A and B are shown apart, each in its own frame.
Chain A
Amino acid sequence: MSETLLELNDIGKFYGNIIALKGVTTTVEAGQVTCVLGDNGAGKSTFIKILAGVHEHDAGELVFQGEEMNFTSPRQALDRGIAAVYQDLAMVPLMSVWRNFWLGSEPTKGVWPVRWVDKAKSKRIAKEEMAKMGIDIRDTEQPVGTLSGGERQSVAIARAVYFGAKVLILDEPTSALGVKQSGVVLRYILEAAKRGLGVIFITHNPNHAWPVGDRFLILNRGQSMGNFAKEEITIDELTSLMAGGAELEELQSELERAR
């Protein structure tokens, strides 16, 4: 079997007396997609922030490649190979594709103090990496703002993959996209997993999670509702668990009566 990259045991996070996250357990394996499902306010954002090093966890343990971790800054997590692609994409819309791709880690030529960005190389590699994700950017000079939502996601994913991410966290990558675009992004997720990354795919849409996921972690109101391998669960169970099971059934019958 594949290597286990990340193990979470009973992770919890408290903001004062508010329990933002409690008792979350799951694993992320290389080449597999772990989906984190949850409704609004379920604790998904807190979950990502702990993994990406924005917040520290207050309970439980976070084991990365067999080593217990406690990230105190995003840079630390990034250096270990945990890259997060946020909902707002961490893109600068008015900058060109290649500049966005390299932002923060531009390759340079020359000796200090006269050192400049190796434009030809940056452009070439950006184009190649995008092509590996199955997207052909004809002109890497075009501003990212002119790309479609799915293409922008692919730039972000390609960037994370190129800079040596082992675990890729995708925060609701499909939430703002149309049906077609969502499909494209799901394909990029599989592409990234195929290249040996452990992918954490966070979504509130079971229909997006089901086709790509190998493992599902369901959160509701800051609590883990379960952690299942794909064989252990069906999409219907997933949906009803996500919404809190019994509550949903009650609601359905109520709605039917109202008709």
Chain B
Amino acid sequence: MPRRDGPLLARPFRESYEGHAMMVWRGITSMSDEKTGGRKRGSTIEETAAEAAEGAVVEQMTETITEEAAGGDERLAYRGVFQRMLIRPEIGAVIGAIGIWTFFWAVSERFGNYGGMSNILDIASTLGIMAVAVAMLMIGGEFDLSSGAATGALAILTILLVRDVTGEMGGASFSLWIALPLSFAAAMLLGWFNGAMVEKTSLPSFIVTLGSFFILKGMKSGFGKLIVDQVQVGKLDDLKITAEETGVSDRGYGFFNKVFAAEWQRLDHLWEGRDAVYTAAILGGLTLLVVAVYEQNFAENAKKNPLGALLLIGGIVGAVVGVLTLHNTDGSSGDLLGAAIIGISMMVGFFGLALWRYARHQSGGSAGFSGSALWALGIGLALTAAGVFFARWLDSTNEETLLLLVTEQGLRAILFCGLIAGGLVYLAIAASRAGRVSPVSKSIVLLVTAGVLAGLAFFIQAESTSRKFRSEFFSVLLAIAAVVAVWAIVSMFFANRRESDFAAERRGTVLNWLGLALLALGLVVRLMFTNEAEVLAGNPPAKFTVRILWFLGFTAVCSWVLARTKFGSWTFAVGGNKQAARQVGVPAARTKTQLFMLVSGAAWLVGCLLAFNINSIQAGTGNGLEFEYIIAAVVGGTMLTGGYGSTIGAAIGAMIMAMAIPGISFARWNTDWRFVFLGGILLLAVIANNFIKTKAEGART
């Protein structure tokens, strides 16, 4: 019985496990039923006959088996760093996010500039906070269809609580210090109601929360019309205006506006040192990430080679010189020189690192290729060549629409990106297949791949006059090519680790976090600060709102809770096998109710962010968004049937969906196509995640 994302709330694993036993049973009993006409008696006969022989060997069996068991499970092979990366639930979302980013970035000039970036982050924040909470609920095995409507409802409630009683619009005229806790209590009540209904009635949460969705939807427009006589409820900033006009207290508006809607105007913050910090952080971060992979992948050498350390130091010095060269020159020849210095010193440095720390192969093995590897290599090269061919053949300046949908230049971009991506995937498959023959074969395939990447980089540079590709793509691709080439050479000479080494894992993890932190620092610095050159070039203003911090903080806290606390463990347990969790004493009903309350709490937070940012809330705000939260969670690797998933994945899923909104309009498609994109992404994500998971867990179901 293969595992599938079957009906909601099914427990696929247990079913197949028990199902199998049941099938065997039925086989035995039905056979004898025919002969004796009595199911009960029949089964006994068959059973005793079949197991009499078994019983005789059981005793001697126990002896030999215990010895085997005590000797360790020899079938459990060591998992390499890449395999371990692949079983992370969010890996699909990470790859998808990079791919989609690259695509939109390549086809649109405006995508990914500062304005576009702040736009994406803004959308991703509210979507992401909800997606993270919904992902946790889904891991706990439930859905909440009222989550979208709840964001709007709680925003409206907050506004109604602070509006004046008098005036054209009625309200409760509370201070925000009272209104916010009150609406938060309402949110908790909503979550508790959903959870208690699901638990007490043991109906599917899909139906129960569909009910509360319609109730909320009706209440939003109903109460809106009843109290303020229109479908729009506002305005929150009247508090400030009244305070300024009459001198009464603003009832906490100033404070909470900072909490929920503070802004950072990028153009107001000049910092000339920005680029230096940015370059250093990005290069340093990437280097640390590569070193972390090295540390986790290669077997350490007991005796260190000092020559390697020397080369490493040389490489680092060279890289610094290269960055300085790049920084101090303008113009393309200086850029090229700097890039060349950086590239070469990077290669030397990484090779030195490997020589210094890691053990050599006993023997590299001979180069040989299996048929399947050659096939994959051939397909990969053919696809890449086809991509280049289309890029040459189609006219990059033609903006006429073909086949109703895309312009010729758009088609060119899609074909180029798609074919290249497919080609690279096949090259990766070829490398993995060649690796089964010998490390040398794998390295050869990787070197070919690096060559292809470098070739593409130069091709894109040659084409950079065309408006659809960016020249920055050149340096990024070239850097990736260099990393792949170094990896190929190093893995040809040095042996992979075959058993787990706690100290090395630790170092790798620490380096990983440091690397990611440096990368984040670089990006943040670049996004937050501007410099004179950019101001002169007339960059459009971009502002970042505090909701991005709420998003990051919420994701971080939820991820920590899920991974490290009792509650997180219980969440996985009630979603994975509720019966089992209950049997060992997990308070399943309470855990699920708390998860529903987490979702409605998140809805309250998003409601506050919306209320303070846009001041007036439409009655329809948030309706229908619940499915986007679910899509974001699923794209992030959360299983629809519960028990498996990731909050970081959900956050990245929200980023992917937020990218689609400006991305599609910048690529000059009608924004209605966004939904086609969303649907496609959802299907792709479900299929990819399912595939990755069965691969990673092995065939056993």
Interface residues of A (CB under 8 A from B): 39-41, 74-75, 78, 84, 86-95, 99, 102-106, 108, 115-117, 119, 134-139, 142-143, 145-146, 151, 159, 175-176, 179-180, 182-184, 186-187, 204-208, 210-211, 235, 239, 242-244, 247-248, 251-252, 254-255, 258
Inter-chain contact A94/B13, CB cutoff 8 Å: yes
A84 → chain B closest CB, angstroms: 8
Q: Do A182 and B58 form a contact, CB below 8 Å, given A187-B66, A243-B48?
A: yes
Interface residues of B (CB under 8 A from A): 13-14, 17-18, 20-21, 35-36, 40-41, 43-45, 47-48, 51-52, 54-59, 61-62, 65-66, 69-73, 76, 500, 560, 564-566, 568-570, 572-573, 576-577, 579-581, 583-586, 643-644, 697-698, 700-701
Inter-chain contact A40/B73, CB cutoff 8 Å: no
- Report Cα–Cα, A258/B249, bound state, in Å: 100
Inter-chain contact B569/A99, CB cutoff 8 Å: yes
- Report Cα–Cα, A228/B643, bound state, in Å: 45
- Report Cα–Cα, A206/B51, bound state, in Å: 9
Inter-chain contact A92/B61, CB cutoff 8 Å: no
Residue numbers in B under 8 Å from A41 (CB-CB): 40
B579 → chain A closest CB, angstroms: 7
Q: Do A117 and B566 form a contact, CB below 8 Å, given A91-B580, A179-B58?
A: yes
Residue numbers in A under 8 Å from B59 (CB-CB): 183, 211
- Report Cα–Cα, A45/B401, bound state, in Å: 71
B419 → chain A closest CB, angstroms: 37
Inter-chain contact A106/B35, CB cutoff 8 Å: no
A130 → chain B closest CB, angstroms: 10
Residue numbers in A under 8 Å from B45 (CB-CB): 243, 248, 251-252, 255
- Report Cα–Cα, A19/B663, bound state, in Å: 69
Inter-chain contact A90/B583, CB cutoff 8 Å: yes
Residue of B14, B36, B580 with most partner-chain A CB within 10 A: B580
Residue numbers in B under 8 Å from A134 (CB-CB): 66, 69-70
Q: Do A93 and B576 form a contact, CB below 8 Å, given A105-B585, A136-B70, A138-B72?
A: yes
Inter-chain contact A78/B585, CB cutoff 8 Å: yes
Residue numbers in A under 8 Å from B560 (CB-CB): 116
Residue numbers in A under 8 Å from B701 (CB-CB): 145
| Nearest A-chain residue to B22, judged by Cβ | A176
- Report Cα–Cα, A243/B52, bound state, in Å: 14
Inter-chain contact A39/B69, CB cutoff 8 Å: no
Residue of B61, B70, B71 with most partner-chain A CB within 10 A: B61
Residue numbers in A under 8 Å from B66 (CB-CB): 134, 184, 187
Residue of B36, B62, B586 with most partner-chain A CB within 10 A: B62
Inter-chain contact B586/A115, CB cutoff 8 Å: no
Residue numbers in A under 8 Å from B61 (CB-CB): 179-180, 183
Inter-chain contact A75/B585, CB cutoff 8 Å: yes
| Nearest B-chain residue to A86, judged by Cβ | B583
B457 → chain A closest CB, angstroms: 39
Inter-chain contact B44/A248, CB cutoff 8 Å: yes
Inter-chain contact B13/A239, CB cutoff 8 Å: no
Among B55, B58, B76, the residue within 8 A (CB) of A142 is B76
A106-B569, A136-B70, A138-B72 given; name 9 further pairs at CB < 8 Å. A90-B579, A93-B17, A95-B569, A116-B564, A137-B73, A175-B21, A183-B62, A239-B48, A243-B41
Residue numbers in A under 8 Å from B69 (CB-CB): 134-136, 184
Inter-chain contact B573/A205, CB cutoff 8 Å: no
Residue of B54, B69, B572, B700 with most partner-chain A CB within 10 A: B69
Inter-chain contact B643/A92, CB cutoff 8 Å: yes
Residue numbers in A under 8 Å from B73 (CB-CB): 136-138, 151
Q: Do A208 and B55 form a contact, CB below 8 Å, given A40-B43, A184-B66, A247-B41?
A: yes
Inter-chain contact A180/B569, CB cutoff 8 Å: no
| Nearest B-chain residue to A242, judged by Cβ | B44
Inter-chain contact B47/A205, CB cutoff 8 Å: yes
Residue numbers in B under 8 Å from A103 (CB-CB): 569-570, 573, 580-581, 584, 586
Inter-chain contact A94/B576, CB cutoff 8 Å: yes
Residue numbers in A under 8 Å from B55 (CB-CB): 205-208, 210-211, 235
- Report Cα–Cα, A91/B500, bound state, in Å: 26
- Report Cα–Cα, A88/B572, bound state, in Å: 18
Inter-chain contact B698/A146, CB cutoff 8 Å: yes
| Nearest A-chain residue to B72, judged by Cβ | A136
Inter-chain contact B76/A139, CB cutoff 8 Å: yes
Q: Do A88 and B585 form a contact, CB below 8 Å, given A179-B61, A186-B58, A205-B51?
A: no
- Report Cα–Cα, A145/B12, bound state, in Å: 11
B701 → chain A closest CB, angstroms: 8
- Report Cα–Cα, A208/B580, bound state, in Å: 26
- Report Cα–Cα, A65/B451, bound state, in Å: 77
Inter-chain contact A243/B566, CB cutoff 8 Å: no
| Nearest A-chain residue to B586, judged by Cβ | A104
| Nearest B-chain residue to A205, judged by Cβ | B51
| Nearest B-chain residue to A174, judged by Cβ | B58
Residue numbers in B under 8 Å from A244 (CB-CB): 41
Residue numbers in B under 8 Å from A75 (CB-CB): 585
List 16 interface pairs A-B (beta carbons < 8 Å), by A numbering.
A40-B40, A91-B577, A99-B569, A103-B569, A104-B586, A116-B564, A135-B70, A145-B701, A176-B21, A179-B61, A205-B51, A206-B48, A211-B59, A235-B55, A242-B44, A258-B35
B497 → chain A closest CB, angstroms: 14
User: Which 7 pairs across A and B sit closest by C-beta, in order of nearness?
Assistant: A207-B55, A183-B61, A92-B576, A104-B585, A90-B580, A176-B21, A104-B584
| Nearest B-chain residue to A211, judged by Cβ | B59
Inter-chain contact A119/B41, CB cutoff 8 Å: no
Among B40, B65, B71, B576, the residue within 8 A (CB) of A136 is B71
Residue numbers in A under 8 Å from B581 (CB-CB): 92, 103-104
Residue numbers in B under 8 Å from A255 (CB-CB): 35-36, 45
Residue numbers in A under 8 Å from B644 (CB-CB): 94
A76 → chain B closest CB, angstroms: 11
Q: Do A251 and B36 form a contact, CB below 8 Å, given A103-B586, A183-B61, A187-B62?
A: yes
